[in-house]
Amino acid sequence: MKFQELLSDLESKLEDLEAGSEDVLYKAESGITKVEKCIKELQKEVINKEFSSKTEEIFFFKHVKPQIFSKLIYYVKLFTIESKRPRSSNKTQVKYFNNQIDKLQSYFNDNLEFYNYYRRGATSMDEQYFIRGNSDLRLPPDSFHYLIDDQFSTCQDNTVATIMAFDMLIVYLQQEIEKLEFNTENTMLKTMNEPSKLFWTGSKTELIEMIYAFHSSGVINSGTVDIKEMASYFEYIFNIDLGNYYHTFIEIRARKNSKTKFLDKLIELLNRRMEALDD
């Protein structure tokens, strides 16, 4: 089945969407449309073809479908939250966003047993949770018609998707709160007089992976610089808008193969170069 192909294509389209318009409601609406189209294709694949084993079925409903479905939940909730965002003082907006975070966190508390199972990477209940035909089918907070088909749902794959979506939403809301409280997003850029002549020609995801690697290593300012300041500086140096880099980092963390694809590529290329010089 072409699951990975569908997922990669969707991620590429969503990355282009996030890099485009600054209108968050437009992004959410467009994101919903793109993800719904992907889910319909995915649904056809699953219904028309059999899984080769229980292991393959569990992997699909535990890892593949939630990655895609979480993006639909994310954009639907994002649209709802942003469309009701107060058009008043920063203080009022911060209070509103904090209340939204509390509501999202309450979902984790309401599903604490499964949340802990999923977070610790347990597998003992996977056949009950991620094989179709078991009872206790649960719906996410926003019901979608895809869930009516029991050939495309298990009792917990949508809970996983909701956990992933709410993780992304909390990160987004925390970033918005940070902007409102400190209003320092462009401070560094304003203090720089000369525009940079360097341009980042790789993907935004690759640069964000590298920034987080630098931040994790503590090699800049002995580790005292925060990720926001580092991201702003790299944006200035390479003439690029990284957009919601917190959101992108969540997606990097969710990778099922190497979580450090770009860093792995850099190591390989550097080794090749040194080996070529040795010949």
**pLDDT 10s digit of each residue in the chain, 279 long?**
577 788 888 888 998 888 887 789 999 999 999 999 999 988 888 888 888 899 999 999 998 899 999 999 999 999 999 999 998 888 889 999 999 999 999 999 999 999 999 889 899 999 999 998 875 545 444 545 455 567 888 889 999 999 999 999 999 999 899 888 775 444 444 555 567 789 999 999 999 999 999 999 988 888 888 888 889 889 988 999 998 888 999 989 988 888 999 999 999 999 999 989 887
Q: Is 22:80 a contact under the CB 8 Å cutoff? A: no
Residue 136 has what pLDDT?
54
pLDDT of residue 56: 92
Distance, in Å, from the CA atom of 145 to the CA atom of 194, rounded to the nearest integer, reads 53
What is the full DSSP assignment across 133-172? T-S-----SS--GGGG-TTS--SSHHHHHHHHHHHHHHHH
C-alpha to C-alpha distance for 117 and 92, rounded to whole angstroms: 36
CA–CA separation, 141 and 61 (whole Å): 18
In this structure, are residues 275 and 235 in contact, taking their beta carbons and an 8 Å threshold? no
Residue 221: the pLDDT is 82
| Model pTM score | 0.64
Q: Contacts for 45-51 with beta carbons within 8 Å, 24 or more apart?
A: 45/1, 45/2, 45/3, 45/6, 46/1, 46/151, 46/152, 47/149, 47/151, 47/152, 49/1
Taking a C-beta distance cutoff of 8 angstroms, is the pair 230, 207 a contact?
no
Task: Give the 3-state secondary structure of residue 140.
Answer: coil
Q: Rounded to a whole number, what is the largest CA-CA distance in the chain?
A: 66
pLDDT on residue 66: 92
